[in-house]
Amino acid sequence: MDEIQWTERPELRDPLLVCAFKGWNDAGEAATAALGFLTDSFDATPVASIDPEEFYDFTAVRPAVSLSEGRTRVIEWPANTFRAARIAGAEHDLVLFQGAEPSLRWRRFTEIVIKVGRELGAHMVITLGALLADVPHTRPVPMTGIGSDQELVERLGFERSTYEGPTGIVGVLHHACAKAGIPSASLWASVPHYVAAAPNPKAALALIRAFEGVARVAVDASDLEESAADYEQQVNAAVASDPEVKSFVERLEQTIDEIQPEVTPDQIPSADAIARDFQRFLRQRGPNDPR
């Protein structure tokens, strides 16, 4: 059986391959929620998938069973799906890949991801990730950006990774990109470890905004902004009802406020930059977009 199952091979304009994985790299399901939002926002259509048979221990990542038309039992296997989105008015189209962190053969799995991206013309890989951290839900979501390309590092103020320790499929994918000579960027949102609610729309929104800066693609995230505001209100109410948790969050707020650098004038986007972003958004919407 072929590891790659193609639906179509669309012609895309200098696309970016954007990836998110369920599992270890997806605290609060923020990364997969962000990628799902991009998929829905740009009406991305499936173009290929990776057969899961060789990459999963199905006792650890179990398939699900459902009923079709109330009678026929259907097995739903772990999905690893590539979708294509044509972005009118933007510099690039997108290839959006959402999968589950595999149990087996990570090197082969990442080779396949890169192979599909190359066959669709992708010139860069962007991954979305989220991690649990000692951060309060009441403050802006801390974001970390890591880039392999020096121009990208300098343009966006990213850093080269100096992390040493356990890694997930995202780290292995970026290593494979480096070996293949493909520029890559990794965006990470920090999720409060004391909030069990998933998905976390506030962290997903932060990933979307960081993605816009890297991809130079404008995203209408008004629905996600509303969800993030509702989420914060619900968490506020839950925290207020528990004195111990409330005290813990206040200590986190004090800590983050002490280490948070003040915003200097050179860190505020210029009027020209804001105008360029707004013009990009209008080009993508087009004259007949009712939104």
Map out the domains of the chain as residue ranges: 4-285
pLDDT number for residue 148: 81
CATH topology of domain 4-285: Rossmann fold (3.40.50)
Residues 6+ apart with CB under 8 A from 119: 9
Q: What is the pLDDT of residue 2?
A: 83
Average pLDDT over residues 206-231: 94
The predicted structure's pLDDT at residue 286: 55
Rounded to an integer, the average pLDDT of 74-79 is: 92
Task: Supply the pLDDT for residue 275.
Answer: 42
- 170 closest CA partner among 49, 59, 23, 51: 23
Note the residue count of the chain: 291
Of the candidate ranges 74-78, 191-195, 259-263, the one whose mean pLDDT is the lowest: 259-263
Residue 5: which residues within 8 A CB-CB, separation 6 or more?
48, 49, 50, 51
* pLDDT tens by residue, 221-243: 999 999 999 999 999 999 999 99
Q: Please report the pLDDT score of residue 160 as a whole number.
A: 64
Mean pLDDT comparison of 17-31, 67-81, 158-172, highest-scoring range: 17-31
| 3-state SS, residue 47 | strand
% the chain with pLDDT above 90: 71
State the virtual CA torsion across 117, 78, 26, 183 in degrees, nearest 10: -10
Q: Which of 81-85, 122-126, 194-198 has the lowest mean pLDDT?
A: 194-198
Q: Distance between CA atoms of 11 and 174, rounded to whole angstroms?
A: 25
Q: With 70 as the cut, is the pLDDT of residue 269 above it? A: no
pLDDT value of residue 88? 87
Flag whether pLDDT at 291 surpasses 90. Answer: no
The predicted structure's pLDDT at residue 67: 85
Judged against a pLDDT cut of 60, whether residue 278 lies above it is answered with no
pLDDT of residue 264: 41
Contact 65, 76 (CB under 8 A): yes
Residue 289 has what pLDDT? Answer: 54
CB 136 within 8 A of CB 254: no
E strands, the chain, are 4-6, 16-22, 45-50, 64-68, 72-76, 81-85, 94-100, 124-133, 143-147, 184-192
Rounded distance between C-alpha atoms, residue 130 and residue 205, angstroms? 12
Is pLDDT of 263 > 60? no
How many C-beta neighbours within 10 Å does residue 155 have? 12
